[in-house]
Structure 1
Amino acid sequence: MIVGIGVDLVDVPRFEEHVRRTPRLVPRLFSVGERTLKPRSLAARYAAKEALIKALGGSDGVHWTDIEVTSEASGRPVFSLSGETAATVARRGITALHLSMSHDAGLATAYVVAESLPGTEVPASAIPPLREDDA
């Protein structure tokens, strides 16, 4: 059962400029394994993390560096969650996360679908609503 959907779009040149001007953003937003990637790949991962937060219904209990985007052998992107973020996702009854990412023409986008098994989903009233700055 789908319990959340999130999408995000990032302007890659603008993202690159933010990272250039504020280099401390990289360790705050990305796992150690992600930090060596090219800026357009980081922009897509940033979009993926934002889309995940939207699919989860908010950022409570979610920490950026607990979310790592990796690839399966096929190249399919997947989330590798750790720490409090992994515990938060489990508490919310989410049993699967589906991720699609792309970048082209100066834009990076990501789409996330969060699923739970029937009977494991957490009532919507237990999940905090998105704040305006999360949208």
Structure 2
Amino acid sequence: MIVGIGVDLVDIGRFERSLERTPRLAERLFTETERTRPPRSLAARYAAKEALIKALGGSDGVHWTEIEITPEASGRPWFTLTGSTADVVAERGIRTLHLSMSHDGGFATAYVIAESAA
């Protein structure tokens, strides 16, 4: 059963300028592994994290660096959640998170569907 959906769109150029103006921003938003990626990929990951928060219905107990987008062997993106963020998802009965991300034409987008078992 779908319990939440979220979508987000990020202007890659604007996001990149924000990272340049605020050097510690990347540390607050991304895990160490994610920070090795290029700006367009970081913009898509930011969109994914925003879309997840929207699908959850809010950010209470959710921390940016406890959300990591990790690719499967096929390249499919997947959420790896830790700490209180993982607890929030479990407490809300969410069993599966579906994630789709893309970047093209100067924009990055992400879509998340949260499903419960029932």
Q: For this structure pair, what is the TM-score category when the shorter chain's length is used for normalisation? A: over 0.9
Alignment of 1:1-135 (within 5 A): 1-118=1-118
Shift, 1:74, TM fit: 0.6
In the aligned structure 1, how far is the partner of 2:63 from the partner of 2:35? 16
| Aligned counterparts of 2:100 and 2:23: Cα–Cα separation in 1 | 27
Q: CA RMSD in A?
A: 0.3
Separation in structure 2 between the aligned mates of residue 35 and residue 103 of structure 1, nearest angstrom: 17
1:34 Cα deviation from its structure 2 partner: 0.3
1:14 positional shift: 0.2
Q: CA deviation at 1:105?
A: 0.5
Task: State the 1:63 CA deviation.
Answer: 0.2
Deviation, structure 1 residue 101: 0.1
- Match for 2:116: what amino acid? S
TM-score calculated relative to the size of structure 2: 0.99
Shift of 1:92: 0.5
Question: Which residue identity is paired with 2:51?
Answer: A
Distance 2:44 2:52 in 1: 12
Higher Rg of the two aligned structures: 1
Instruction: Specify every segment of 5 or more residues in structure 2 that has no aligned partner in the other structure, as ranges.
Output: none
Gaps of 5+ in 1: 119-135
Give the superposition deviation at 1:90: 0.3
The aligned residue for residue 132 of structure 1 is none
1:8 Cα shift?
0.0
Equivalent residue for 1:124?
Answer: none
